[in-house]
């Protein structure tokens, strides 16, 4: 393993934004760039300035924000692209050209010699302007090694500061990647960077192998977003490097969760609950044996070398048909609900009954069962009084919510992409500035027809990773959503002590 600091080149705003259906506003890009700076990435690839006026201005506004992190712009091996990067004022220019025969013939429509000359000239042009240069041999892993090394030698002599070896279509396996990068490592002197795509789910593993073979930098994205199946995920790469390999990084890992949530919200690409590091279940335990184990000592059923706190997460115990008494008692204790042994047995019976019916037991279900058993009812912080929505094909869906919040009547109104979105936004409006966010949202219909009950299960989370799940079933989908949302927020607030 490389003993130097392994640097992180984040391409969420460039390759990440190339994810189908993702388009970020300039403002969102700047917010993400600031979050990446706080996270401690070494380079932010802010975009491809030549591609449009909007892209140019987004890159420029990130440069103008004067972040501590180096801002990089992407360019093909042609002067107008490089000039656009120079005009935007980036600190690093990333020039790229295809080197594999398939891309040379059908994409670039150039010969090997032509692409070699263009690459060398492009690097020289960047260096003549006194700017740092990263060169990418696109589709390197499908390029004949002799030609790849020839290009590497050429761009290195032309002054490239760092050479990137992209696995553009994600066809490498870890052992092949190791040997591939090792051969290049023995040949080039400048630092080596890798950019692995995830077509076979191996992007992180291949990046790690490249580092083991002597690469110095990894290109990654938040939540692994990017072209097709995406790029190597930043959180997984960083935690594997630091916790498993003991590598030194500049990443402030405690911000991994909040950065992931931010990008999830802006891109609207939901990450699965089982996603390593940042997924809802990454540190959750339901089964009796596991929960009891982690209550005694966390590393019984967690890696130990990586704790939830290290990545900004919280350990969660989950009620359900596999749950044991220890976990349920602990969950109630965390929610400030005291129960005796007999009450706990009755609560467990109810929880298992629901679980056996194949239903998810949300946190609020558990608290409601406990309240019914103990006769101690929570005084909710928010009481819904009125909800009205306006929707149709000629109006923007708009919702108004009236509620009593901590004793004061508040009215919130917001628009949304649909009536449910508008209503949830209106709930946020009455809360004012809050760090509570909707984390998960699922609607199922109970029974068939148009009069079916909408069964809504919602998860709300605060910025410290505290998550509460709640359910509501109603004939009206909007009312069910708002009720579930408010009961989850009430519980989150009660858990916080108000
Ligand atoms: O996948 C790729 O090869 C790229 C290059 C521009 C580095 O995104
Ligand atoms: Zn890529």
Report the CATH number that the domain containing residue 114 is assigned in CATH.
3.20.20.70
CB 468 within 8 A of CB 491: yes
DSSP conformation class of 271: P
DSSP conformation class of 272: P
Both structure tokens of 112: 């090997």
For ligand 1, atom 5: residue with the closest CA = 138
DSSP conformation class of 243: I
Model confidence over 243-298: pLDDT tens digits? 999 999 999 999 999 999 999 999 999 999 999 999 999 999 999 999 999 999 99
Choice from 168, 203, 220, 228 to test ligand 1 binding pocket (greatest atom count within 8 A of CB): 168
For ligand 1, atom 2: residue with the closest CA = 168
Q: What is the mean pLDDT of residues 460-482?
A: 89
Model confidence over 190-206: pLDDT tens digits? 999 999 999 999 999 99
Ligand 1 atom with the smallest distance to the CA of 140 is: 3
| In-domain check, residue 277 | no
> Phi/psi class of residue 263: alpha, beta or left (left: φ > 0; alpha: ψ in -120 to 50)?
alpha
Both structure tokens of 81: 């692209």
Backbone angles phi, psi at 81, to 5 degrees: -65, -45
Statement to judge: residues 137 and 58 lie in one domain: yes
Q: Separation of 382 CA from ligand 1 center, angstroms?
A: 49
Q: Separation of 137 CA from ligand 1 center, angstroms?
A: 8
Domain that holds residue 334: 284-374
More confident residue, 299 or 464: 299
Ligand 1 atom with the smallest distance to the CA of 96 is: 6
Q: What is the mean pLDDT of residues 464-483?
A: 89
> Phi/psi class of residue 456: alpha, beta or left (left: φ > 0; alpha: ψ in -120 to 50)?
beta
DSSP conformation class of 40: T
Residue 245: partners with Cβ closer than 8 Å, 6 or more residues away? 1, 208, 211, 212
Statement to judge: residues 482 and 399 lie in one domain: yes
Q: Separation of 201 CA from ligand 2 center, angstroms?
A: 14
| In-domain check, residue 274 | no
Torsion of CA 261, 262, 266, 267, to 10 degrees: -50
Statement to judge: residues 259 and 291 lie in one domain: no
Domain count, the chain: 3
Q: Separation of 140 CA from ligand 1 center, angstroms?
A: 10
CB 475 within 8 A of CB 316: no
Choice from 9, 10, 13, 15 to test ligand 1 binding pocket (greatest atom count within 8 A of CB): 15
Both structure tokens of 271: 């990450």
Sign of CA dihedral 201, 204, 208, 211: positive
| In-domain check, residue 275 | no
Model confidence over 400-432: pLDDT tens digits? 999 999 899 999 999 999 999 999 999 999 988
Angle, to 10 degrees, between the axis of helix 325-334 and the axis of helix 341-356? Answer: 110
Both structure tokens of 205: 């593993």
CB 456 within 8 A of CB 488: no
DSSP conformation class of 233: B
Ligand 1 atom with the smallest distance to the CA of 231 is: 1
Statement to judge: residues 387 and 240 lie in one domain: no
Q: Which has the minimum average pLDDT: 298-302, 441-445, 471-475?
A: 441-445
Statement to judge: residues 92 and 231 lie in one domain: yes
Protein residues within 5 Å, CB atom, of ion ligand 2: 15
Q: How many Å separate Cα 130 from the centre of its chain? A: 35
**Helical residues (DSSP H) of 317-389, grouped into ranges:** 325-334, 341-356, 363-374
| In-domain check, residue 1 | no
CB 295 within 8 A of CB 287: no
Q: Separation of 251 CA from ligand 1 center, angstroms?
A: 23
Place of tokens 């390759």: 15
**Helical residues (DSSP H) of 418-476, grouped into ranges:** 419-431
Choice from 10, 47, 72, 195 to test ligand 1 binding pocket (greatest atom count within 8 A of CB): 195
Q: Separation of 168 CA from ligand 1 center, angstroms?
A: 6
Q: In the listed set 242, 267, 292, which residue is the last one of a domain according to the structure?
A: 267
Statement to judge: residues 370 and 387 lie in one domain: no
Statement to judge: residues 74 and 145 lie in one domain: yes
Q: What is the pLDDT of residue 112?
A: 98
Model confidence over 213-243: pLDDT tens digits? 999 999 999 999 999 999 999 999 999 999 9
The answer to whether residue 375 scores a pLDDT higher than 70 is: yes
Statement to judge: residues 368 and 387 lie in one domain: no
Q: What is the pLDDT of residue 445?
A: 77
Helix (H, G, I), strand (E, B) or coil at 405: strand
Backbone angles phi, psi at 351, to 5 degrees: -60, -45
Residue 187: partners with Cβ closer than 8 Å, 6 or more residues away? 149, 152, 153
CA distances from 8 to 39, 64, 289 (A): 10, 21, 38
Q: Separation of 169 CA from ligand 1 center, angstroms?
A: 9
**Helical residues (DSSP H) of 91-158, grouped into ranges:** 101-103, 112-128, 145-157
Statement to judge: residues 318 and 357 lie in one domain: yes
Do the bridges between strand 316-317 and strand 284-285 make them parallel or antiparallel, or are there none, so unpaired? parallel
Both structure tokens of 143: 């390029």
Confidence band of 498 (pLDDT split at 50, 70, 90): very low
Residue length, the chain?
498
| In-domain check, residue 279 | no
The answer to whether residue 496 scores a pLDDT higher than 80 is: no
- Cα(415)–Cα(464) distance, integer angstroms: 28
CATH number of the domain at 321, please.
Answer: 1.10.238
Q: Separation of 351 CA from ligand 1 center, angstroms?
A: 50
Ligand 1 atom with the smallest distance to the CA of 169 is: 1
Statement to judge: residues 256 and 291 lie in one domain: no
| In-domain check, residue 54 | yes
**For ligand 1, which residues put their CB under 6 angstroms from it?**
15, 96, 136, 138, 164, 166, 168, 195, 197
CATH number of the domain at 488, please.
Answer: 3.30.160.270
Choice from 9, 18, 96 to test ligand 1 binding pocket (greatest atom count within 8 A of CB): 96
- Cα(100)–Cα(340) distance, integer angstroms: 69
Ligand 1 atom with the smallest distance to the CA of 197 is: 1
CB 380 within 8 A of CB 491: no
Q: Separation of 443 CA from ligand 1 center, angstroms?
A: 38
Counting ligands in written order, the one closest to the CA of 164 is 1
Q: In the listed set 374, 409, 429, which residue is the last one of a domain according to the structure?
A: 374
Task: Give exposure, 448-487, as e/b (b: 16+ Cβ within 10 Å).
Answer: eeeeebbbbbbbbbbeebbbbbbbbbbeebbbbbbbbbbb
Q: Separation of 226 CA from ligand 2 center, angstroms?
A: 7
Provide the terminal-to-terminal Cα distance of the chain, rounded to the nearest Å: 48
Ligand 1 atom with the smallest distance to the CA of 14 is: 8
Statement to judge: residues 92 and 136 lie in one domain: yes
Q: In the listed set 215, 239, 267, which residue is the last one of a domain according to the structure?
A: 267
| In-domain check, residue 22 | yes
| In-domain check, residue 85 | yes
Q: How many Å separate Cα 16 from the centre of its chain? A: 11
More confident residue, 377 or 334: 334
Sign of CA dihedral 230, 235, 239, 241: positive
The answer to whether residue 455 scores a pLDDT higher than 90 is: no
72 DSSP β-pair partners: 45, 92
Statement to judge: residues 392 and 482 lie in one domain: yes
């Amino acid at each position: 393993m490389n003993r130097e600091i392994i640097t992180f080149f984040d391409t969420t705003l460039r390759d990440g934004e190339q994810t189908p259906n993702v388009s970020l506003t300039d403002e969102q890009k700047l917010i993400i760039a600031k979050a990446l700076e706080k996270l401690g990435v070494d380079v932010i690839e802010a975009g491809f300035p030549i591609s449009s006026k909007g892209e140019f201005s987004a890159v420029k506004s990130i440069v103008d924000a004067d972040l501590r992190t180096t801002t990089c712009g992407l360019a093909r091996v042609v002067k107008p692209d490089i000039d656009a990067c120079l005009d935007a004022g980036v600190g690093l220019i990333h020039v790229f050209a295809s080197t594999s025969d398939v891309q040379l013939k059908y994409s670039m429509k150039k010969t090997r010699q032509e692409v070699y000359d263009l690459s060398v000239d492009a690097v020289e042009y960047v260096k003549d302007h006194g700017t740092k240069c990263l060169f990418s041999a696109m589709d390197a892993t499908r390029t004949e090694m002799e030609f790849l090394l020839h290009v590497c030698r050429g761009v290195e002599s032309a002054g490239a500061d760092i050479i990137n070896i992209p696995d553009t279509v994600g066809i490498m396996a870890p052992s092949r990647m190791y040997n591939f990068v090792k051969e290049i490592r023995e040949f080039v002197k400048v630092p080596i960077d890798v950019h692995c795509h995830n077509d076979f789910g191996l992007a992180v593993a291949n990046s790690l192998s490249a580092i083991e073979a002597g690469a110095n930098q990894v290109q990654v994205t938040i939540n692994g977003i990017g072209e097709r199946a995406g790029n190597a995920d930043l959180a997984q790469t960083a935690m594997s490097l630091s916790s498993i390999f003991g590598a030194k990084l500049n990443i402030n890992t405690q911000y991994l969760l909040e950065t992931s949530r931010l990008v999830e919200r802006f891109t609207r690409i939901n990450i699965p609950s089982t996603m390593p590091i940042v997924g809802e279940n990454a540190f959750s335990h339901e089964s009796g044996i596991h929960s009891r184990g982690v209550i005694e000592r966390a590393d019984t059923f967690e890696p130990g070398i990586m704790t939830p706190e290290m990545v900004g997460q919280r350990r969660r115990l989950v009620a359900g048909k596999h749950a044991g008494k220890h976990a349920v008692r602990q969950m109630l204790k965390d929610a400030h609900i005291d129960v005796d042994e007999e009450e706990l047995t009755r609560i467990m019976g109810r929880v298992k009954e629901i679980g056996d019916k194949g239903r998810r037991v949300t946190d609020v279900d558990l608290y409601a069962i406990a309240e019914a058993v103990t006769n101690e009812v929570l005084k909710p912080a928010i009481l819904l009084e009125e909800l009205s929505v306006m929707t149709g094909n000629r109006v923007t869906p708009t919702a108004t919510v009236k509620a009593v919040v901590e004793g004061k009547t508040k009215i919130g109104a917001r628009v949304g992409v649909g009536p449910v979105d508008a209503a949830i936004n209106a709930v946020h409006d009455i809360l004012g500035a809050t760090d509570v966010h909707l984390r998960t949202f699922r609607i199922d219909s109970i029974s068939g027809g148009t009069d079916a009950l909408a069964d809504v299960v919602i998860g709300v989370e605060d910025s410290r990773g505290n998550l509460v799940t709640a359910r509501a079933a109603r004939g009206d989908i909007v009312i069910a959503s708002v009720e579930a949302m408010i009961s989850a927020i009430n519980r989150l607030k009660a858990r916080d002590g108000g």
